[in-house]
């Protein structure tokens, strides 16, 4: 499990878990430790996650700390029933293409977690998504329509909130892909839990170091570069180390690589404390 600061592309907290530990376990503690890593100047926090974080404890913690959230909701029988009860006029078109029609709607649903019975206003909104395949077709499982939902305490246009929540696929899921497939987090080195946890943490540190390298020292077009591009253009550059007249030189054959290395070196020098 990782908590990503999306704007800075930095992993704030990671937790390597045993295989039998459910995803919805101890998440308030994880969020507390992640938020504690943020710099003092951060005054507004917005949090988005998948249904593994759909816990009453997580929602209450976010609300108590004035953190705005959008989390995928488990489609319980009660919530699903409320979605099916919506009139046709409640659904608004998001987009339609040759594959399917996507619509969204606000769901008048209040969960039975007891908060609204204690004199507290219910701050949570439920937004539903309905996906219908093109006429005459069914989904692979034989269903004619699929429903999904999110819960949020944010105000504003529902469609904009759904789209913002969906952007997590390009942030934390992208980070998981980088860790496992372009670094080495998926190649666990040992049968011992502690060694594997240390290996995962090493990959997280590498991820953050690469982010710092891209943001602080490389030209702007490298800001979103993946590790394999950095390997091809930077780390695997062929050069020759030359020792001459008490100096150590790195001789590069390509002018492009030379210009890049010079620019990187200059930025690193500027970062050095006075």
Tokens of residue 257, six digits? 């690589």
User: Domain-by-domain residue ranges, the chain?
Assistant: 70-170, 237-274
Residue 27, Cβ neighbours under 10 Å: how many?
20
CA distance 47 to 168: 10
Mean pLDDT for the chain overall: 87
Share of the chain above pLDDT 90, in %: 50
CA distance 152 to 264: 43
CA distance 229 to 177: 15
Q: Each residue of 189-200: b (16+ CB within 10 Å) or e? A: eeeeeeebbebb
Q: Report the predicted TM-score, pTM, of the whole model to 2 decimal places.
A: 0.83
Alpha carbon of 248 to those of 33, 174, 243, 254, 267: distances in Å? 45, 40, 5, 19, 20
Q: Rounded to 5 degrees, what angle do the CA atoms 167, 172, 176 make?
A: 135
CA distance 144 to 146: 7
Whether the predicted pLDDT of 11 surpasses 80:
yes
- The confidence band for 122, taking pLDDT boundaries of 50, 70 and 90, is low
pLDDT per residue over 230-271, tens digit each? 888 778 777 788 898 889 987 877 777 777 778 888 888 888
Find all residues with CB under 8 Å of 216, minimum gap 6, and list them: 267, 271
Write down the pLDDT at residue 162: 93
CA distance 23 to 157: 30
pLDDT per residue over 149-199, tens digit each? 999 999 999 999 999 998 887 788 899 999 999 999 999 999 899 999 999
Measured N-to-C along each axis, helices 27-36 and 56-64 cross at an angle, to the nearest 10 degrees, of: 30
Alpha carbon of 21 to those of 33, 61, 120: distances in Å? 19, 21, 33
């Amino acid at each position: 499990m990782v908590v990503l600061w999306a704007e800075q592309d930095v992993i704030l907290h990671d937790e390597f878990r045993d295989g039998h530990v459910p995803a919805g376990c101890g998440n308030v503690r994880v969020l507390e430790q992640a938020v504690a890593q943020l710099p003092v100047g951060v005054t507004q926090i917005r949090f988005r996650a998948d249904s593994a974080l759909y816990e009453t404890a997580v929602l209450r913690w976010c609300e108590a700390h004035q953190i705005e959230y959008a989390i995928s909701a488990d489609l319980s029988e009660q919530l699903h029933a409320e979605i099916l009860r919506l009139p046709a006029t409640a659904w608004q078109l998001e987009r339609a293409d040759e594959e399917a029609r996507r619509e969204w709607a606000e769901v008048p649903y209040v969960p039975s977690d007891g908060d609204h019975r204690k004199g507290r206003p219910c701050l949570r909104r439920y937004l539903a998504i309905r996906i219908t395949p093109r006429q005459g077709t069914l989904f692979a499982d034989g269903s004619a329509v699929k429903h999904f939902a999110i819960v949020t305490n944010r105000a504003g246009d529902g469609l904009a909130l759904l789209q913002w929540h969906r952007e997590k696929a390009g942030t934390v899921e992208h980070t998981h892909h980088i860790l496992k497939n372009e670094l080495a987090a998926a190649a666990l080195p040992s049968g011992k839990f502690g060694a594997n946890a240390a290996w995962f943490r090493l990959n997280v540190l590498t991820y953050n170091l690469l982010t710092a390298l891209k943001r602080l020292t490389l030209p702007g077009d490298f800001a979103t570069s993946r590790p394999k591009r950095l390997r091809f253009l930077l780390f695997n550059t062929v050069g020759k180390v030359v020792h001459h007249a008490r100096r150590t030189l790195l001789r590069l054959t390509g002018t492009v690589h030379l210009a890049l290395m010079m620019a990187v070196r200059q930025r690193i020098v500027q970062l050095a404390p006075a």
